[in-house]
Each structure stands twice: as C-alpha cells, then as structure tokens.
Structure 1
Amino acid sequence: MEAKYIKEHNNYDLILGNRYKAKFYKDGWLLIECDDKGNSVLYREECFEREEYSPEEAAMYALKFCEKHPGWKRICDIENHENLYKNWDELSEKDKKPWINDYGILSAKDAWEEFGHKPCKVQYGFISGKGKFYKKVTDVPHLHNLMQIYKVG
C-alpha cells in the first residue's frame, strides 16, 4: 500500500491507498476510513503521549546514577571502552572455528572484528532522559534519548 504525506497548515495528512486517510495533529493521529467514492465513513483517534528528552538530560541522569552507584561509569567518562568487550584473542577455539572456515586463517580475525558480535565482559545498561535504567537498548522508549553506562569497578 502506497503512503504519501501532505503537509498542510502544520498538520500532516497521510493518504493510505484509496480507502484510508490519516491526519496527524500535535497529540496523535485521526484515522479516517473512506468508502469507494472517497466519502468518510469512520473516524478513529489514535492519541499518544509524546515524551521527549534530550541527550543532555540523559547524560545528567547517568551522572547522578553513577554518583549513587559506585563502580558505574558513563561511556563518555571511560577512556578506552574497547577493553570492555572481548577481542579475537580472548575467543575460544570453538568460537573462532566458524570464522576461520568461512574466511580463512588470515582473514578470520578481520571478518570477526567487522561483522562479529563482541560480547561485553562487564555489566552495562542505559539511562534514559527520563532517568530510568534499562538493561537493553531496545527497551528505551522512542524519543527518550539515552546514555550507556558500564559497571567497571
């Protein structure tokens, strides 16, 4: 289904094929279902709460979190955060074998460093601009911004 946006007087219209239209307002969407002739037959409001937080707010809350919890540091306060992740030499032979088989002995290390998953050796998390701690980056709500923190001590 093709969708196109039309900007009109600070509102955004979204045309979804011939059957649906949506209008975006400051606090949500108004979904309009149309019949075959283009007449509106059903209105439904999709409201949502938009919480937005800046990166500066996330950095401030992360600093406060680190002050309250000794041993935790913000990523921007760690000089060399690459040491917090496993490197090629720390992998077991079992973990190296598929890379060597696929890329050869000479290119396996470079391929792993480019495409491989590097497990973190320490506990880490994310502080949102709202001040909440999350273990996974995908759990941080959209538009909250975040700061990554590590337990290094």
Structure 2
Amino acid sequence: MTLTHCDSSGAASMVDVSDKPVTTREARAQARVLMSRATLQAIETNALKKGDVLATARIAGIQAAKKCSDLIPLCHPLALSKVAVDFALDSDKSAVNIETYCKLAGRTGVEMEALTAASVAALTIIDMCKALDMAMVVEGVCLIEKSGGRRGHYVREET
C-alpha cells in the first residue's frame, strides 16, 4: 500500500485531486461522551449555567466540519452541501451519543469532516459541563459509513 500524502522522497504532500471525477460524497461518524448521571440529567433538563449544551455542541460540530482543512494538515478545503450533528442521551450508560453526517459533490471524501464534527461536538459538551464533572471521557470516535469516490461504499462492522 502506498501512502497518498507523501511524495516520492517521503515528504508530506497534499494529494492532487484535480483529475478525479466529481461525485456525491457522504460520510457518517460517531463519538460518545461518558459522564456522571447528574451531568447527563443537567444536560437533559437544560440546567447548566453556560446554556443549552446540545445546541451549542451542534453548532460547534457544524463549524468544525466547515473548518476541517484549517485544523487537519493536508486536508482539502471543501464546499460542504450538508452537515448534521445529532445527539441521543443514553441513561443506561450515562452518556451522550453523537452522530454526524457530511455531504458534498466533489473530488474528495468528507470522512475527516464528519470525524472532526463528532470530535469537536464531544469536546464542546465537556467544555460546557466540566464545572459539574471533570471525569468525563470521550470514546468511540470513528467513521461509521462513507460513500462515493473510487473506494465506494464502506459501512463499519459492529464491534
């Protein structure tokens, strides 16, 4: 396997995608923030002094997807046509589950944008809740599905 972000001498290099066809590219990613039951309840009842945690985390995730090329070296700046950040509260595991979705018509995929959105949404939840719970943990950040492009459709197997 050849690394695509290295030139012939091994130096970091941005991949030239100008010859690739424009196709619809989509990606979904996820993350989970584990926390105390009291913190989860405060999020659910919107009882934090900093404001609505999930609304703020949603905006942060969307912004992060749009700024991915500023954060991740060698990422192409992309004209995203859709970014979604959704949350599910899991009282059994005392967690907030995050799922993100990114879409565009372009020459390169949106996996990094979806992953960045999930990561930053999770970090925003921690930032907004850290006064209540310093022991929160982000886990399970991963790509769960992607489509479009040369490699086709990928769906993560359940683990």
Q: TM-score range by the shorter chain?
A: under 0.3
Higher fraction of helix: 1
TM-score (norm 2): 0.23
Q: Which structure has the bigger radius of gyration?
A: 1
TM-score (norm 1): 0.23
